[in-house]
């Protein structure tokens, strides 16, 4: 039973089908928050109390807006590796969220280039710089998080708990973070 005095997030989760996405859903539901998971196939998921599914993606601003509708915060788990695709997805997300009342965003992706720019090409650095610039010019209260390496289940659960703590305590706005497990 929920305590009426406890604030509840209606968190929209893009990338829910990853191991970190599953850990986030479990942690959010354990803390009695509601989860709207944006997925590409509704038939692969079993219903649970507090868990809702929508079909969607981050291909354009319209899809991002429709996927995020009804939420109070967004966590987007971007596919690592292709920094240009990550930049396009974040562009769609920022543009889509600008049309909503949602202002809190945790963007999880391949942002290691911000820590070690010498290991990346000019094109890769520019793609991530575009993401950061777009976020800084937006009205969002954002946090960039490096996608943790493949973790055992307990590691994913700890990262998920840390991310939810950031949301609940409204920490690390406008910052770039790494989780060390």
| Percentage with pLDDT > 70 across the chain | 97
Tokens read off for 78: 């971007």
* Per-residue pLDDT reduced to its tens digit, 4-53: 666 788 999 999 999 999 999 999 999 999 999 999 999 988 889 999 99
Cβ-contact 143, 103 below 8 angstroms: no
pTM of this structure: 0.94
Give the mean pLDDT of 74-96: 95
Long-range residue pairs from 33-42, CB within 8 A, at least 24 positions apart, any chain = 33/8, 33/9, 33/164, 34/8, 34/9, 34/10, 35/11, 36/10, 36/11, 36/12, 36/67, 36/70, 36/71, 37/13, 38/12, 38/13, 38/14, 38/67, 38/68
What gap in Å lies between CA 105 and CA 142, rounded to an integer?
Answer: 5
Instruction: Report all structural domains of the chain as residue ranges with CATH numbers, in order of start.
Output: 10-177 (3.40.50.720)
Q: Where are the beta strands (DSSP E) in 15-70?
A: 34-39, 51-55
* Per-residue pLDDT reduced to its tens digit, 147-165: 988 778 888 999 999 999 9
pLDDT at 153: 82
Cβ-contact 51, 25 below 8 angstroms: yes
């Amino acid at each position: 039973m929920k305590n009426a005095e406890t604030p509840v997030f209606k968190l929209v989760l893009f990338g829910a089908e990853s191991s970190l996405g599953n850990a986030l859903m479990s942690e959010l539901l354990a803390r009695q928050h509601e989860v709207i998971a944006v997925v590409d196939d509704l038939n692969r998921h079993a219903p649970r109390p507090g868990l809702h599914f929508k079909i969607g993606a981050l291909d354009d601003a319209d899809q991002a807006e429709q996927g995020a509708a009804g939420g109070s915060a967004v966590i987007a788990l971007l596919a690592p590796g292709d920094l240009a695709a990550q930049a396009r997805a974040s562009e769609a997300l920022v543009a889509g969220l600008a049309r909503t009342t949602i202002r809190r965003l945790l963007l999880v992706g391949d942002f290691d280039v911000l820590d070690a720019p010498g290991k990346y090409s000019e094109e890769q650095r520019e793609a991530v710089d575009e993401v950061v610039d777009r976020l800084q010019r937006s009205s969002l209260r954002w946090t960039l998080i490096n996608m943790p390496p493949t973790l055992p289940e307990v590691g994913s659960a700890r990262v998920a708990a840390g991310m939810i703590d950031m949301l609940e305590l409204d920490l690390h706005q406008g910052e770039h973070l790494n989780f060390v497990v």
